[in-house]
């Protein structure tokens, strides 16, 4: 029987299974191959907080979504065209999201009476025909087939059963016409000391590929052409990794040491892991006894001339607030990264949210302004990390960098940056030339940046004391003088405001005036841009502005906002940027606020815009 | 740091800031002894750093003409750790108190001790909260009547030295604000120890807890209430050294030197003996025993920063000429024409 090949522009696939089924790994391998094939792509891992929830339970379902395309795309997709469900619980959790007419590929061997009952099915959905009216269902005995493919290897049955995710991967490689060599090579490195495991997984993958190729069940293959990306060298990059590379790039360009103090917390821990593996770059990592020690050790390192960095997630930020205030008044460089997750309290540790913006802006006692910037895509994490470090040192201030769980674990194709093309990052420590009449003024300021000198211990004749009590202007001595306090509060605020002088004109995507301006910050950029492109193609007068900096805001933002009839601010919170925009510009902005632990979809935004235009 | 170290005087370590402790505070004596000893430590002045938290004692850095950082409550040890790791060549001193270092900052104190960074901790123990005007502290005796405990405090106090030993300290000592010569010697010993040195200083708060250590400092009583430790010497005390500490089985007892017991029957101090240090540390706040002062425990052990530097050196040796550009370019890459 002949097979047909169909060309499509874009595909969304979701791999879903039990936590122990290796779905993140399967998705990761599919992503790497898809990147090499040259598609544009965007991914969204979605996993439970429990390391191993009971096998087969709804709580234990782990998923990985990838959208890939021949076009420039900005999101991991709304509704999957294909759901790979490795067990009944995975089907139960994700079935409602599948695009109408979509494909479901199930591991039939996992649809046992016990698993069905665990997932809450009274009858078996892959046999009772309830799915047939809506979807194309492929029920494949993956467990059985990997057992047959590997029966002569002498491995324990459980070990062989675990290779079923590679069967699914091989099948998807066949359906979407992708090569298997990279994954074979990857297996050979990953399991270098376990040749039988390599063999079992390769056989499972081959079995899946051949199953698609030879059986008469799958009649159509799909091809997705290369995306038309700007020319250059690319790799696929995950947000937390990109961010770590940005910090390391800042350390290398500035030639000051990088000191990272942190405490394990989801979803920020990967930054600690990644930097800890780069000791050959001279990076110092310190797993502290708690979040407070993480940030305070970083402050100590900054006082001593290293670039102090700490990363955490919302609950950890709550613990670091007092220390950030110390860095504000001591006017020391410090980069604090918040990989936001669902809150409040422990909230949804593995899910994404944008609900810490107010905490970032105002979460300290006293008047304690901090520059706040946010990453917009996984690859952008590199550039904002570099920028946060540069600004922290240039202005002698702690900087808050916001990312989120979606950006941290999501990935995209990424053009390799060249270190020498990054903005200049020169650091000059104070020395005896800073003495004025033999006296060192620890709070004298640079005319342009208002930054105070960075005089580090070990420097002759610059011995001085700083601390958390209000400083006297110039000398930095303890001062309780009322007018001095007012002046210093004002000066610290002005210093942060002056960072806006660094920004170029704000980019408006679309016409500079119109019916609706979509205003975004952080990880919602992709969905907003997609929605805007769609609406513009539909003839709507809609434009998009994305903010990298929330404090300070770009100076030209107010003039941009008033040129639109409506301003829509989609956020994964209950309205935080919108409060700032309303109070700063007296603009009657409208919010789109969906707090579900997952990215806002492009279609949600389109609906909101259409509702505004009426 | 190969240049000859400059000759300093006490004045070189005295900052231009007016000292603002209450008149009669024990802190003055500690500051004076520190300023007196520092010229003799053989360290260039710019390489000293004082880090403190919050509390009366924590104002200390403002008065030392060295690098100093008066930080936030309880976190001095953590900040000092960052300082030391950023530049292991610095001589780093933490000044803290019984509230700052044992209550709000207790966690950082124990973790500093177990890591054994080469940092010198001076813990001023006045057994009260002074700066907040007189609440009981984690070293106050049970039943302490204060503003926050009008019917007496309920909690058993910490014994700082036992806590330090339990946390894995490699150097544990104690001195008293009024024993100025002894304090100088203890500061020298702290400085000489490579690793975290933990020095408890009994310090009188003459406003909120006056006389907390009077038994140990009054002329009439001090010879009977203080056991001055000397390494390798028998543990004798009393005006005529007529009393000693010996072991009865595993239990320390105080004996009179005379017909029944001779000097040879008395325990000999050994700074490297953890069991002896433990026994001594538990002789704190006990009515039937003298409070030991001196170095209870001192052993050599590798420091955290030496291990860290060794790991970095090894990593660089394995991958020399490292640039982040190599990492940027790593992984599966492809070219778009």
- Which residues of B are less than 8 Å from A462 in CB distance? 46
Strand A334-340 and strand A307-312: the pairing is parallel
Per-residue CA distances from A154 to A146, A162, A297 (Å): 13, 14, 52
- Tell me the pLDDT tens digit for each residue of B222-267: 999 999 999 999 999 999 999 999 999 999 999 999 999 999 999 9
Q: Residue A56 pLDDT more than 50? A: yes
Q: How confident is the model at residue A51 (pLDDT cuts 50, 70, 90)?
A: confident
Do residues A264 and A314 touch, judged by C-beta distance below 8 A? no
* The token pair that represents B94 in the structure block: 């933490």
- Tell me the pLDDT tens digit for each residue of B6-20: 799 999 999 999 999
Q: Choose the mutation target among B53, B336, B337 for the interface with A, i.e. most A CBs under 10 Å.
A: B336
Q: Choose the mutation target among A36, A232, A245, A304 for the interface with B, i.e. most B CBs under 10 Å.
A: A304
Chain A residue with minimum CA distance to B92: A457
Q: What is the pLDDT of residue A3?
A: 82
Compare CB distances from A252 to B90, B316, B324 and report the shortest one's residue.
B324
Sequence-distant (6+) residues with CB within 8 A of A482 are none
User: In 10 A of CB B261, how many CB atoms?
Assistant: 15
The position carrying tokens 């004298």 is: A444
Burial-class residue B41 by CB neighbours within 10 Å (0-12, 13-18, 19+).
middle
* The token pair that represents B250 in the structure block: 């595993």
Do residues A143 and A166 touch, judged by C-beta distance below 8 A? no
What 3-state class would DSSP assign to B172? Answer: strand
CA distance B319 to chain A (A): 6
User: Cα(A500)–Cα(A123) distance, rounded to whole angstroms?
Assistant: 61
Burial-class residue A287 by CB neighbours within 10 Å (0-12, 13-18, 19+).
middle
Q: Give me the helix-helix angle, A164-175 and A142-149, nearest 10°.
A: 100
- Tell me the pLDDT tens digit for each residue of B271-321: 999 999 999 999 998 989 999 999 999 999 999 999 999 999 999 999 987
Q: How confident is the model at residue B332 (pLDDT cuts 50, 70, 90)?
A: confident
What phi and psi, each to the nearest 5 degrees, are found at residue B196? Answer: -70, 125
- The verdict on ipTM greater than 0.95 is yes
Q: What is the pLDDT of residue A285?
A: 98
Do residues A263 and A291 touch, judged by C-beta distance below 8 A? yes
Q: Choose the mutation target among A253, A427, A435, A467 for the interface with B, i.e. most B CBs under 10 Å.
A: A467
- Which residues of B are less than 8 Å from A35 in CB distance? 332, 334
Q: Which helix (H) or strand (E) holds A207?
A: helix A195-214
Q: How confident is the model at residue B1 (pLDDT cuts 50, 70, 90)?
A: very low
Q: What average pLDDT does this structure show over A181-189?
A: 95
Q: Residue A334 pLDDT more than 50? A: yes
Q: What is the pLDDT of residue B201?
A: 98
Compare CB distances from A326 to B49, B72, B329 and report the shortest one's residue.
B72
Do residues A73 and A37 touch, judged by C-beta distance below 8 A? no
- Which residues of A are less than 8 Å from B47 in CB distance? 457-458
- Which residues of A are less than 8 Å from B51 in CB distance? 300
- Tell me the pLDDT tens digit for each residue of A347-382: 999 999 999 999 999 999 999 999 999 999 999 999
- For chains A and B, count residue pairs whose Cβ atoms are closer than 8 Å: 211
User: Cα(B118)–Cα(B190) distance, rounded to whole angstroms?
Assistant: 10
Chain B residue with minimum CA distance to A310: B82
CA distance B146 to chain A (A): 27
Q: Residue B2 pLDDT more than 60? A: no
Query: Inter-chain contact B78–A458, Cβ cutoff 8 Å?
Result: no
- Tell me the pLDDT tens digit for each residue of A395-419: 999 999 999 999 999 999 999 999 9
What 3-state class would DSSP assign to A300? Answer: helix
Q: Residue A274 pLDDT more than 60? A: yes
Compare CB distances from A301 to B44, B86, B322 and report the shortest one's residue.
B86
A255 touches chain B (CB under 8 A): no
- Tell me the pLDDT tens digit for each residue of B212-233: 999 999 999 999 999 999 999 9
Q: How confident is the model at residue A1 (pLDDT cuts 50, 70, 90)?
A: low
Q: Which helix (H) or strand (E) holds A252?
A: helix A239-254
User: Cα(B49)–Cα(B59) distance, rounded to whole angstroms?
Assistant: 14
Do residues A272 and A287 touch, judged by C-beta distance below 8 A? yes
Q: What is the pLDDT of residue B3?
A: 57
Burial-class residue B97 by CB neighbours within 10 Å (0-12, 13-18, 19+).
buried
User: Cα(A27)–Cα(B103) distance, rounded to whole angstroms?
Assistant: 48
Q: Residue A428 pLDDT more than 50? A: yes
Q: What average pLDDT does this structure show over A578-602?
A: 97
Sequence-distant (6+) residues with CB within 8 A of A262 are A268, A269, A271, A272, A285, A286, A287, A288, A294, A310, A311, A312
Q: What average pLDDT does this structure show over A148-154?
A: 95
Q: How does DSSP classify residue B38? A: G
Query: Inter-chain contact A303–B89, Cβ cutoff 8 Å?
Result: no
Q: What's the pTM?
A: 0.95
The position carrying tokens 């009583």 is: B221
Chain A 163-202, CB below 8 Å of chain B: which residues?
Answer: 182
CA distance A174 to chain B (A): 21
A321 touches chain B (CB under 8 A): no
Q: How does DSSP classify residue A211? A: H
Q: Residue A162 pLDDT more than 80? A: yes
- Which residues of B are less than 8 Å from A478 in CB distance? 17, 62
Query: Inter-chain contact A230–B336, Cβ cutoff 8 Å?
Result: yes
Query: Inter-chain contact B46–A464, Cβ cutoff 8 Å?
Result: no
Radius of gyration of chain B (CA): 23
Do residues A247 and A239 touch, judged by C-beta distance below 8 A? no
- Which residues of A are less than 8 Å from B68 in CB distance? 464-467
Q: Residue A65 pLDDT more than 80? A: yes
Q: What torsion, rounded to 10 degrees, do the Cα atoms B14, B71, B74, B142 define?
A: 50
Compare CB distances from A467 to B44, B70, B337 and report the shortest one's residue.
B70
Q: How confident is the model at residue A147 (pLDDT cuts 50, 70, 90)?
A: very high
What phi and psi, each to the nearest 5 degrees, are found at residue A157? Answer: -55, -35
DSSP letters of A532-543? HHHHHHTT--EE
Query: Inter-chain contact A249–B332, Cβ cutoff 8 Å?
Result: no
């Amino acid at each position: 029987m002949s097979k047909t090949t169909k060309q499509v522009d874009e595909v969304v696939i979701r791999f879903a299974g039990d936590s122990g089924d290796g779905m993140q790994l399967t998705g990761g391998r599919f992503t790497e191959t898809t990147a090499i094939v040259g598609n544009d792509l965007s991914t969204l891992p979605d996993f439970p907080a429990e390391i191993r929830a009971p096998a087969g339970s709804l709580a234990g379902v782990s998923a990985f979504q990838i959208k890939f395309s021949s076009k420039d795309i900005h999101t991991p997709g709304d509704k999957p065209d294909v759901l790979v469900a490795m067990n009944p619980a995975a089907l139960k959790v994700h079935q409602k999201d599948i695009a109408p007419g979509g494909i479901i590929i199930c591991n039939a061997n996992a649809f046992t009476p016990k698993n069905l009952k665990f997932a809450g099915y009274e009858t078996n959905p892959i046999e009772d025909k309830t799915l047939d009216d809506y979807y194309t269902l492929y029920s494949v005995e993956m467990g059985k087939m990997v057992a047959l493919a590997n029966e002569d290897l002498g491995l324990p049955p459980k070990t062989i059963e675990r290779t079923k995710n590679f069967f699914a991967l091989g099948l998807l490689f066949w359906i979407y016409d992708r090569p298997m060599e990279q994954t074979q090579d990857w297996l050979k490195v990953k399991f270098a000391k376990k040749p039988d495991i390599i063999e079992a997984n390769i056989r499972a993958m081959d079995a899946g590929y051949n199953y698609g190729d030879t059986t008469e069940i799958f009649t159509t293959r799909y091809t997705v052409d290369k995306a038309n990306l700007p020319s250059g060298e690319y790799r696929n990059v995950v947000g937390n990794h990109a961010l770590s590379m940005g910090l390391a790039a800042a350390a290398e360009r500035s030639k000051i040491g990088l000191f990272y103090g942190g405490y394990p917390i989801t979803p920020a821990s990967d930054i600690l892991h990644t930097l800890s593996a780069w000791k050959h770059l001279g990076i110092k990592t310190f797993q502290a006894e708690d979040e407070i020690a993480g940030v305070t050790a970083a402050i100590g390192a900054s006082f001593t001339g290293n670039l102090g960095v700490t990363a955490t997630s919302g609950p950890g930020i709550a613990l670091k607030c007092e220390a950030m205030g110390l860095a504000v008044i001591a006017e020391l460089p410090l980069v604090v990264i918040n990989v936001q997750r669902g809150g409040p309290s422990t909230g949804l540790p593995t899910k994404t949210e944008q609900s810490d913006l107010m905490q970032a802006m105002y979460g300290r006692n006293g008047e304690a302004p901090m520059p706040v910037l946010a990453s917009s895509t996984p690859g952008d994490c590199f550039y904002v990390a570099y920028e946060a470090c540069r600004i922290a040192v240039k202005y002698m201030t702690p900087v808050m960098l916001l990312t989120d769980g979606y950006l941290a674990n999501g990935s995209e194709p990424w053009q390799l940056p060249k270190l020498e093309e990054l903005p200049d990052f020169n650091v000059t420590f104070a020395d005896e030339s800073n003495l004025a009449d033999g006296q060192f003024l620890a709070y004298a300021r640079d005319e342009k940046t208002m930054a105070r000198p960075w005089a580090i211990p070990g420097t002759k004749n610059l011995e001085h004391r700083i601390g958390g009590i209000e400083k006297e202007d110039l000398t930095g001595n303890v001062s309780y003088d009322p007018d001095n306090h007012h002046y210093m509060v004002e000066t610290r605020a002005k210093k942060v405001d002056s960072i806006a002088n660094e920004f170029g004109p704000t980019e408006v995507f679309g016409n500079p005036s119109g019916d609706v301006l979509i205003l975004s910050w952080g990880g919602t950029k992709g969905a907003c841009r997609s929605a805007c492109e769609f609406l513009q193609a539909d003839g709507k007068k809609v434009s998009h502005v994305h903010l990298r900096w929330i404090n300070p805001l770009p100076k030209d933002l107010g003039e941009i906002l008033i040129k639109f009839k409506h301003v829509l601010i989609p956020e994964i919170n209950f309205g935080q940027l919108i409060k700032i925009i309303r109070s700063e510009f007296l603009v009657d902005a409208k919010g789109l606020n969906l707090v579900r632990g997952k990215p806002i979809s492009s279609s949600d935004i389109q609906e909101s815009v259409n509702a505004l235009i009426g | 740091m190969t240049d000859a170290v400059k000759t300093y005087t006490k004045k070189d370590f005295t900052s231009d800031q007016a000292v603002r402790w209450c008149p009669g505070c024990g802190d003055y004596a500690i500051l004076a002894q520190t300023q007196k000893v520092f010229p003799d430590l053989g360290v260039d002045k710019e390489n000293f750093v004082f880090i403190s938290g919050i509390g009366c004692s924590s104002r200390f850095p403002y008065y030392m003409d060295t690098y100093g950082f008066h930080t936030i409550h309880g976190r001095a040890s953590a900040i000092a750790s960052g300082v030391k790791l950023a530049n292991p060549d610095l001589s780093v001193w933490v000044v803290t108190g019984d509230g700052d270092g044992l209550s709000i900052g207790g966690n950082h104190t124990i973790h500093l001790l177990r890591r054994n960074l080469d940092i010198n901790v001076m813990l001023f123990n006045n057994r009260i909260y002074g700066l907040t005007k007189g609440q009981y502290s984690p070293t106050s005796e049970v039943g302490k009547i204060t503003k926050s405990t009008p019917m007496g405090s309920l909690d058993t106090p910490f014994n700082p030295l036992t806590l330090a030993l339990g946390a894995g300290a490699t150097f544990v000592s104690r001195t008293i604000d009024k024993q100025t010569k002894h304090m100088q010697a203890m500061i020298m010993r702290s400085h000489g120890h490579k690793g975290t040195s933990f020095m408890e200083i009994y310090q009188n708060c003459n406003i909120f807890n006056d006389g907390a250590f009077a038994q140990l400092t009054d002329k009439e009583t001090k010879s009977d209430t203080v056991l001055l430790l000397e390494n390798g010497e028998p543990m004798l005390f009393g005006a005529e050294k007529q009393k000693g500490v010996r072991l009865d089985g595993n239990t320390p007892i105080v004996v009179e030197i005379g017909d029944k017991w001779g000097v040879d029957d008395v325990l000999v101090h050994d700074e490297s003996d953890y069991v002896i240090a433990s026994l001594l540390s538990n002789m704190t706040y006990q009515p039937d025993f003298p409070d030991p002062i001196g170095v209870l425990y001192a052993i050599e052990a590798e420091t955290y920063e030496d291990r860290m530097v060794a790991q970095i050196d090894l990593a660089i040796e394995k991958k020399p000429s490292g640039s982040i550009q190599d990492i940027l370019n790593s992984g599966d890459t492809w070219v778009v024409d």
